[in-house]
Amino acid sequence: MLMRKVVKVFRSIPTVEGAGVHLKRAYGYHQVPLFDPFLMLDDFHSSDPSRYLAGFPWHPHRGIETITYMLEGLVEHGDSMGNKGVIGPGDVQWMTAGSGIIHQEMPRKSPTGMMWGFQLWANLPASRKMMPPRYRDVPAHSIPEVTVAAGVRVKVICGLLGGVQGPVRDIVIDPELMDVSIGPGGLFEHEVKPGHTVAAYVLSGGGTFDDGLDPYAFEYAGSGWFDLERSCLFGPETVVLYGDGDGIRVVAGGEGVRFLFFSGRPLGEPVAWQGPIVMNSQEELRIAFEEYRGGTFIK
């Protein structure tokens, strides 16, 4: 099996979104189309409620899927299809905006004050941009955890690992999404689909994601001008993008490592993106925003 090599490494960047939510953006608009079919990954992690309670009030989406995964804290959801609920620790919300949906995501103050979650945006192909919207609420208890080796545990949200299928299925971009924890010095190997985009985002600890162990074999973005040290041990808030190959191999450092692993079939289509709407052309964007202002956005 040909193991994939790391080609680019990014450090997440602080930003403010919604009505005033402070978060870290692992990658986004400026990295299109590197992560195709994925558009953006945000990490919202704070123990200060003033930095997240303003939330994401009512706003539209079209042409994409939004995937929210919570580790700690609570988020209330409501949308134009009538769906309502609360996403808690370990839960996933997989929302296909398709032709259009208006929703809100409003964090609650948790007993500990801690909020930690992620939102991943996945693009839809032109042929499915205007598909009917759908909402999937995936509670933590429905997500299987697989022990693949000593000290290696994987929560399989979407995809297949060791014969275990994640609960989210029949997704357009044929994705995988897994929460991987490896104990100190442990090893995780996973076969991936040829041609698919493959990436990982480190949550805690540190590990090596490339057997080459050459800190100059990949492009590194996010270091300061005077940072002259480069390492192959990637720590928290680092996103790793792989080149092509048959599989990945990750070795944990002395503290172990936990990361989100995600992959999907690239679309290779033009991207026209403004705010919460992603289409294939500027004309389609114009129509979407005119419909939103005119009250005909929801189909």
Provide CB contacts within 8 A for 293, sequence distance 6+: none
Would you state the structure tokens that stand for residue 111, as one six-digit string? 């007993």
pLDDT at 87: 96
Number of CB atoms found within 10 A of residue 165's CB: 12
Tell me the pLDDT of the chain (299 aa) as tens digits: 899 999 999 999 999 999 999 999 999 999 999 999 999 999 999 999 999 999 999 999 999 999 999 999 999 999 999 999 999 999 999 999 999 999 999 999 888 889 999 999 999 999 999 999 999 999 999 999 999 999 999 999 999 999 999 999 989 999 999 999 999 999 999 999 999 999 999 999 999 999 999 999 999 886 667 677 788 999 999 999 999 999 999 999 999 999 999 999 999 999 999 999 999 999 999 999 999 999 999 99
Is residue 75 a contact partner of residue 87, using CB atoms and an 8 Å limit? yes
For 196-223, give the secondary structure using H, E and C.
CEEEEEEEEEEEECCCCCCCCCCEEECC
The reported pLDDT for the residue numbered 222 is: 67
Complete domains list, the chain, with CATH: 6-294 (2.60.120.10)
What residues does 188 pair with on adjacent strands? 250
